[in-house]
């Protein structure tokens, strides 16, 4: 049997350096992708979660469906809003909240 393929790295002393360089390049690319895409998205998700947790009764909100309303009831994973146009009441999931239009005093201080 010919085991010549096992000794290819021995014949090319720069082969090990090429492998290390390749690993470093992949690590740099992955690090750049993390800081460009993943980190800002996680930061935005944390801010949205904080906004949903700090929601209070009486706040003016916009849902992801574009419905403007005022919060009249809060539950753990849902809320009841009253629409501005005809004052109809809608039960909406908290994750469907896009924006809180009400500025609170503690948020204004920051």
Q: Say if residue 72 is in the same domain as residue 36.
A: no
Q: Say if residue 40 is in the same domain as residue 71.
A: no
* Mean pLDDT, residues 22-33: 94
Q: Say if residue 73 is in the same domain as residue 89.
A: yes
- CA distance linking residue 81 with residue 64, whole number of Å: 13
Q: What is the pLDDT of residue 62?
A: 95
Q: Say if residue 24 is in the same domain as residue 44.
A: yes
Q: Say if residue 104 is in the same domain as residue 64.
A: yes
For 97, other C-beta atoms within 10 Å of its C-beta total: 20
pLDDT band at 13 (very low <50, low <70, confident <90, very high): low
Domain, as residue range, for 26:
4-51
Q: In total, how many domains does the chain have? A: 2
Q: Say if residue 47 is in the same domain as residue 61.
A: no
- Taking only the tens place, the pLDDT of each residue in 63-101 is 999 999 999 999 999 999 999 878 899 999 999 999 999
More confident residue, 3 or 51: 51
**Eight-state DSSP code of residue 86:** T
Q: Say if residue 30 is in the same domain as residue 72.
A: no
Report the chain's mean pLDDT, rounded to a whole number: 85
Q: Say if residue 64 is in the same domain as residue 97.
A: yes
For 68, other C-beta atoms within 10 Å of its C-beta total: 14
pLDDT band at 18 (very low <50, low <70, confident <90, very high): confident
> For residue 9, is pLDDT > 70?
no
Q: Say if residue 23 is in the same domain as residue 66.
A: no
Which residues of 57-100 form beta strands (DSSP E)? 60-63, 68-74, 78-83, 89-93, 97-100
């Amino acid at each position: 049997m010919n085991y010549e393929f096992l000794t290819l790295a021995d014949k090319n002393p720069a082969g090990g350096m090429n492998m290390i360089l390749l690993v470093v390049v992949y690590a740099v690319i992955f690090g750049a992708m993390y800081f460009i895409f993943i980190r800002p998205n996680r930061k935005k998700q944390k801010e949205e979660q904080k906004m949903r947790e700090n929601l209070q009764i009486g706040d003016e909100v916009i849902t992801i469906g574009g419905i403007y309303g005022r919060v009249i009831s809060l539950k753990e994973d849902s809320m009841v809003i009253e629409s501005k146009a005809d004052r109809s009441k809608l039960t909406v999931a908290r994750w469907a909240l896009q924006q809180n239009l009400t500025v609170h005093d503690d948020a204004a201080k920051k």
